[in-house]
Amino acid sequence: MTGAPERSGALERPGALERAAQSLEAAGPDGEWRGLSVRVIWVDFVRSLVSLMPAVLAIGVFEVEASLESLWPFALLAAWGVIGAVADIIRWIFTRYRVTENEIERRTGFLVRRHRSVRHDRIRSVDTHAKLRHRIAGLRVVTVGAGQQTNTGEAAFVLDALTRADAELLRELLLQERRDAWEPTGGPRDGDRIFQSESESESESASESEGASSGVPAGAQERQREDIEVLAGLRPWWVVYHLFSIWAYLLAAGLLWGAYWLAATFGVDLLDLSSRFVDWNELGWGGVVVLGLLVGGVVGALGMGVNFFTAYWRFELARVPSAKTTFLRTRRGLFSTREVNRDEARIRGVSIGEPLLWRWMKMADTTVITTGLGLWDMEEPTAILPRGPRGIARDVAARVLGEPRPFTMPVERHPRAALRRRLWWATALAAGVLSCVALPVASGTAPMWLLWAALGVWPLGLAGAVIAYRALGHAIVGDYLMVRAGLMSRTTSVLRRDAVSTIAVRQSILQKRLGLSTVSAMTAAGWSVYEAPDVASSEALRLAAQAAPGLIDEFLETSSPEI
């Protein structure tokens, strides 16, 4: 397969993507190491200049006094930009990678050199994203999910930053979309040569760009588009589900503080300016708190709305077929774009979380239970839908699982003893809080209102116990185990039974007295452990046997004729 006809998939790529394909193919199974794009140097140069501009404008244009008190924020901003640029330059100098027939390798590090390799069959997902500065420069960041363990601090495999053509081709190779068509043909090339002409692909039409990124001939591209199943798209009214949360107030605090600091830098006191419209003394503390909550809520809601549209602009969830498997692909972003491809063969289930405070809105968060994706990543790569209505989340989850019933089947309620256990713990917590404040209040070292606040913990705890009990449930639905639990967020997790590697049934002393047990299903995906807490002990072993068929059958006691 060294002739031109056999490599038609690579040769039919127009522009820079074709040159990138030829460059990677030419490297061979043990080819030369490739570097990151030299464009990152120019991006960091501009980044350094931009970080210095506020200080220059403040001193040169607005004639702000050059003192440490007035210019320290500008100094921090400039230092952050320059230090980040220098760090990126060092990373560009010392980072090399290569793709072979069996694995991808990366060498990096200045003071401490690191060499990491990941076999192709260990790759779980490929995430391609670009911040605004990357998009302007035609760069992409590729994150390879390779089953890293977040609880051990193991980082994902990241290449920052590659040209757009290199990133697209690397994604195709790692996702095995054209592994069979990749044949090494000769000596190594300098991967940086494609940087000079990659801008040609940026100026092509949208249709040509789509064709280039698919990595297949034109006719196959049309067939592939027909095979793509779009599961969900952006619905603008979903912004309502993102306006109201504690994060809105935190965002408002940051925006208002930034506005106050920026105005103070240029000699404008916003508090003094606001006193012309509001008499703070007449309002009193209560009025100030209420006004602050109202203003903070409005500013935060507007900020959250803008953040939703910039983060999820042109959102799409689709099932994309490849030569050997299918991928769940999400695309989103306005200024910063992000694309995550998740191998469906690695997906073990789906979780739907319903936050307590907004459950009346039927709000839901939808994530997949899969391997190789970081659970603590701020970008939430396991999320397949933005926060939205519960009905749509259930429909999409059913289509992802290929099972129409999981989230609509009635669950088995847990015994009343589970409620008594939660009421007991709520009472014990309230008693502990009360005992901590009773003595200081009795001795006069603490105010009386603290005692009333401690007494208020008990009814709140009892209400929480009832809510937590009502959230409990479990069921066996076809090939899936469904467990539901949670107080602040009622989470329903549907897990493939054949993905359960370990099943555990345990009892605490209190559970034993109440006739309860906790069944834990363990898997090498997601949170690793999915529990059905406080199941009746008489039902625990039956549930465990059904959740993991054949795993504990030999340990179950059966009646014998001799007994």
Confirm if 477 and 494 have CB atoms less than 8 A apart. Answer: yes
Closest CA to 494 of 373, 374, 352: 352
Dump pLDDT digits (tens) for 49-79: 776 666 666 666 555 555 555 566 667 767 7
In this prediction, residues 468-475 reach a mean pLDDT of 94
Closest CA to 247 of 288, 297, 295, 292: 297
CB-facing half-sphere around the CA of 533: CA atoms within 13 A: 19
Confirm if 544 and 522 have CB atoms less than 8 A apart. Answer: no
Q: What are 476's two structure tokens?
A: 């066996």
> In this structure, is the dihedral angle defined by the CA atoms of residues 134, 195, 5 and 210, taken in order, positive or negative?
positive
How high does pLDDT run on average in the chain? 78
For residues 59 and 36, give the distance between their C-alpha atoms in angstroms, rounded to a whole number: 37
> In this structure, is the dihedral angle defined by the CA atoms of residues 209, 318, 485 and 533, taken in order, positive or negative?
negative
Report CA-CA distances (Å) from 477 to 80, 444, 481, 497.
53, 59, 6, 10
In this prediction, residues 522-550 reach a mean pLDDT of 91
Q: What are 455's two structure tokens?
A: 């007494």
> Residue 105, Cβ neighbours under 10 Å: how many?
15
239 strand-pairing partners: none
Dump pLDDT digits (tens) for 153-163: 455 678 888 88
Confirm if 215 and 169 have CB atoms less than 8 A apart. Answer: yes
The owner of tokens 């092509």 is 204
Q: Which domains does the chain have, with CATH numbers?
A: 5-36+95-115+163-227 (no CATH), 236-312 (no CATH), 416-549 (2.30.29)
For residues 51 and 83, give the distance between their C-alpha atoms in angstroms, rounded to a whole number: 11
**What pLDDT score does 52 carry?**
67
Checking if the pLDDT of 560 tops 50, the result is: no
- Determine the length of the chain: 563
**What pLDDT score does 392 carry?**
93
Checking if the pLDDT of 223 tops 80, the result is: no
Which of 97-106, 138-147, 256-265, 407-416 shows the lowest mean pLDDT across its residues? 256-265
**What pLDDT score does 529 carry?**
93
For residues 505 and 532, give the distance between their C-alpha atoms in angstroms, rounded to a whole number: 10
Closest CA to 88 of 128, 14, 129, 36: 36
Cis previous bond, 248, omega within 30: no
Helices (H), 122-217: 132-137, 164-174, 199-202, 206-214
In this prediction, residues 352-359 reach a mean pLDDT of 90
Closest CA to 165 of 205, 202, 131: 202
Q: What are 302's two structure tokens?
A: 């507007």
Checking if the pLDDT of 416 tops 60, the result is: yes
Which of 371-375, 443-447, 505-509 shows the lowest mean pLDDT across its residues? 371-375
Checking if the pLDDT of 273 tops 90, the result is: no
In this prediction, residues 353-362 reach a mean pLDDT of 89
Helix/strand/coil (H/E/C) assignment for every residue in 266-327: CCCCHHHHHCCCCCHHHHHHHHHHHHHHHHHHHHHHHHHHHHHHHHHCCCEEEEEECCCCEE
Question: Which residues touch 53 (CB under 8 Å, ≥6 apart)?
Answer: none
Confirm if 303 and 245 have CB atoms less than 8 A apart. Answer: no
Helix (H) or strand (E) holding 224: helix 218-227
* Assessment of whether the complete model's pTM goes beyond 0.85: no
